[in-house]
Amino acid sequence: MLIRRFIAALGGLIYRGKTKEKKIALTFDDGPNKAYTEKILNILEHEGIKAVFFVNGEPAEKYPELVKLIHAKGHSIGNHSYRHAKDADTRYGIEKTGEILRNILGIAPALFRPPWGRVTLRSMNYCRMNKIRIILWSLDTEDYKIKDARELILNMAKRRISSGDIVLFHDDYAHTAEALPEIIADIRLRGFSFASLEELIN
């Protein structure tokens, strides 16, 4: 925690956008998932929303066609290390996933989100040397704790949303895909619109 605060103070972590407009960005971790990623992509396309998908290298190797589909639909792709493991922030994990995504897409991601949001000076130094931006989040949907779509919708309806929020979802849960349209509708009813992450942070 102290390391994270120290790095954040140096401007090395991005938690939220700088805008004062009522705009937020959606992000999805831990995919690609064969069962749910495409469903989420279809919802986002229907709603006219561009998101960031922080993918793990292991499922990306297994489902390269889904990585290509995310990219083809105009979404950004970020590096989420190879596996969601304790040593996920090692140079090996970041580098390996970068190479996998380069082989699939022809380019390596310029965004990295460490699993669990755990940042170390080692991963920070690697990202700085390779001009990779570390993206965390300001609003956690907690969809990994909640196992029911209705509960997730109600939980999000109670949450405070702020301008520039970077919202954390996961695209490997059925209830996330099921709840997403209603969550999007509720956010819009509160007067917020959706921007790409790049629009928020640049």
Q: Which residues are tagged catalytic?
A: 29, 170
Q: Are 134 and 13 in contact (CB under 8 A)?
A: yes
Q: Are 114 and 133 in contact (CB under 8 A)?
A: no
Single out the residue of 145, 137, 56 nearest to residue 100, CA to CA.
56
Write the DSSP symbol of residue 154: H
Contact residues for 199 (Cβ-Cβ < 8 A; gap 6+): 17, 23, 25
Terminal-to-terminal C-alpha distance of the chain: 26
**What's CA 129's distance to the chain center, in Å?**
22
